[in-house]
């Protein structure tokens, strides 16, 4: 990990020079935008099972995509892992993935959690899921919490709503799903009303929204489930205090179901180690990796038959998930970007 960080610091040119000698043939080179420490174990398990060494670069999604674009043909990357439909679809539409196909992947990964089918296969496969839920300050709204994404526009939540920036993929994908379900003009009106209900301008990440909901600075906010699960499982007294002061709901249980997104990955267009790359994708769809994703980062397995043992996820679930294909959500990204601009949801 220290080596990787060092490589990131010294930059792309030097990396390429080192890369040719350090990144051996029996290896798979992974570019990952996942930012979770627990993934170390995942890669170690893959190497243990297959003997294939994992070299990885972890960086923010945009930095990874930019790197892939500029490396082009010379990219050492074999696998690209991204978080959220917004980013996966963007990488796919830019042609950064090579289409891939496999009986194992098709059997394990539900159709709605893959990219749309191209003639030679799929650009990306979803490996784990997370849901976008509503949290609220119990003291302020415990007796009548919101019930749906639509309800965030209700006048009773005036000066109560907090979100992270709507330019963030987590927000864009949620808004894209609303556009798909309710149409653009209804979603725009909704977005404007949500903005009018802000307690403060968008700032921070999901965990910041949860914490501000606990203090009461925010009354109602949105978060991905794993951020809440992380606080629920934290041994820190201050985190437990946050969890005590907030409640959460599964939005849209009487409607389309709660918005769900994925972590996914695929083989990079110019991958040199294609076979190792496919073995890695298939490993990600296996029971062991699926369980590790659930335990390590509090996500649900994409493979429905996999049994998990995660006290926080058990305590939170079960819920009705939105059945919208993830690729459909991805395809509505530019509409979502336009819409949040029009609504002033920065
Ligand atoms: Fe995240």
Question: Mean pLDDT of successive 10-residue segments in the chain (346 residues)?
Answer: 43 40 74 86 95 94 93 96 92 95 97 92 96 98 97 98 96 97 98 98 98 98 97 97 98 98 96 97 97 90 92 92 94 95 95
Task: Name the one residue in this structure whose structure tokens are 């029009």.
Answer: 342
Report CA(134)–ligand 1 centroid distance (Å).
16
Report CA(64)–ligand 1 centroid distance (Å).
16
The answer to the question of residue 251 being in a domain is yes
Residue 157 vs residues 76, 133, 192, 220: alpha-carbon distances, Å? 50, 16, 13, 8
Cβ proximity of 291 and 306 under 8 Å:
yes
Report CA(99)–ligand 1 centroid distance (Å).
26
Task: Name the one residue in this structure whose structure tokens are 């496999």.
Answer: 102
Q: Are strands 27-32 and 53-58 parallel, antiparallel or unpaired?
A: parallel
The answer to the question of residue 314 being in a domain is no
One domain for residues 239 and 296: no
Report CA(205)–ligand 1 centroid distance (Å).
8
What 3-state DSSP class applies to 49? helix
Which H or E run contains 122? strand 121-122
The answer to the question of residue 315 being in a domain is no
User: What burial letters (b/e) apply to 142-181, b meaning 16+ CB within 10 Å?
Assistant: eeebbbbbbbbbbeebeebbbbbbbebbbbbbbbbbbbbb
Report CA(52)–ligand 1 centroid distance (Å).
28
Residue 152 vs residues 143, 203, 245, 313: alpha-carbon distances, Å? 16, 18, 20, 24
One domain for residues 179 and 295: no
Report CA(175)–ligand 1 centroid distance (Å).
17
Q: What does pTM read for this prediction?
A: 0.89
Report CA(329)–ligand 1 centroid distance (Å).
17
One domain for residues 270 and 337: no
Which H or E run contains 107? helix 103-108
Q: Sign of dihedral through CA atoms 103, 88, 79, 321?
A: negative
CA angle 62, 328, 185 (to 5 degrees): 95
One domain for residues 145 and 62: no
**Measured between alpha carbons, how far is 138 from 132 in angstroms, rounded to an integer?**
19
**255: which 2 tokens?**
């409607």
**Measured between alpha carbons, how far is 179 from 192 in angstroms, rounded to an integer?**
14
One domain for residues 227 and 144: yes
One domain for residues 185 and 290: no
Report CA(86)–ligand 1 centroid distance (Å).
13
One domain for residues 111 and 152: no
Q: Nearest-CA neighbor of 310 among 246, 193, 230? A: 230
Report CA(59)–ligand 1 centroid distance (Å).
13
Report CA(26)–ligand 1 centroid distance (Å).
31
**Measured between alpha carbons, how far is 227 from 206 in angstroms, rounded to an integer?**
7
**84: which 2 tokens?**
């959220």
The answer to the question of residue 313 being in a domain is no
pLDDT for 293 equals 87
One domain for residues 139 and 122: no
The answer to the question of residue 89 being in a domain is yes
Residue 95 vs residues 31, 56, 65, 81, 120: alpha-carbon distances, Å? 16, 21, 11, 15, 13
Report CA(218)–ligand 1 centroid distance (Å).
20
**Measured between alpha carbons, how far is 124 from 285 in angstroms, rounded to an integer?**
12
Report CA(149)–ligand 1 centroid distance (Å).
20
One domain for residues 210 and 287: no
The answer to the question of residue 108 being in a domain is yes
One domain for residues 214 and 156: yes
pLDDT for 144 equals 96
One domain for residues 338 and 221: yes
One domain for residues 167 and 279: no
The answer to the question of residue 204 being in a domain is yes
Tell me the CATH number at 28: 3.40.190.10
Q: What is the extent of the structural domain holding 221?
A: 130-258+322-343
User: What burial letters (b/e) apply to 245-261, b meaning 16+ CB within 10 Å?
Assistant: bbebbbbbeeebbbbbb
Counting the structural domains of the chain, the total is 2
């Amino acid at each position: 990990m220290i080596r990787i960080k060092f490589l990131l610091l010294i930059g792309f040119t030097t990396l390429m020079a080192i890369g040719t000698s350090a990144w051996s043939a029996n290896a798979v080179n992974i570019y990952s935008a996942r930012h979770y420490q627990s993934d170390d174990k995942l890669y170690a398990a893959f190497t243990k099972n297959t003997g294939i060494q994992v070299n990885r670069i972890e960086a923010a999604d945009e930095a990874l995509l930019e790197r892939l674009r500029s490396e082009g043909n010379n990219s050492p990357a074999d696998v690209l892992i991204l978080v959220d439909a917004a980013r996966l679809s963007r990488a796919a539409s830019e042609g950064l993935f090579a289409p891939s196909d496999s009986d194992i992947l098709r059997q394990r990964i539900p159709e709605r959690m893959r990219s749309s089918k191209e003639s030679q296969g799929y650009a990306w496969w979803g490996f784990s899921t997370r849901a976008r839920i509503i949290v609220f300050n119990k003291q302020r709204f415990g007796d009548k919490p919101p019930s749906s994404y639509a309800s965030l526009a209700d006048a009773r939540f005036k000066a109560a709503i907090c979100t992270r920036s709507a330019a963030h993929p987590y927000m864009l994908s949620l808004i894209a799903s609303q556009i798909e379900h309710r149409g653009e003009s209804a979603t725009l009106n909704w977005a404007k009303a949500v903005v009018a209900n802000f307690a403060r301008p968008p700032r921070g990440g999901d965990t910041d929204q949860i914490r501000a909901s606990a203090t009461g600075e925010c009354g109602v906010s949105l978060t991905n489930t794993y951020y809440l699960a992380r606080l629920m499982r934290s041994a820190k007294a201050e985190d437990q205090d946050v969890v005590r002061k907030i409640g959460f709901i599964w939005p849209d249980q009487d409607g389309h179901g709660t918005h769900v997104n994925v972590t996914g990955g695929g083989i990079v267009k110019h991958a040199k180690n294609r076979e190792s790359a496919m073995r890695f994708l298939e490993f990600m769809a296996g029971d062991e990796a699926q369980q590790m994703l659930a335990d390590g980062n509090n996500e649900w397995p994409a493979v429905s038959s996999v049994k998990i043992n995660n006290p926080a996820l058990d305590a939170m679930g079960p819920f009705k998930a939105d059945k919208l294909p993830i690729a459909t959500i991805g395809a509505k990204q530019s509409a979502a970007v336009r819409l949040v601009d029009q609504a002033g949801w920065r």
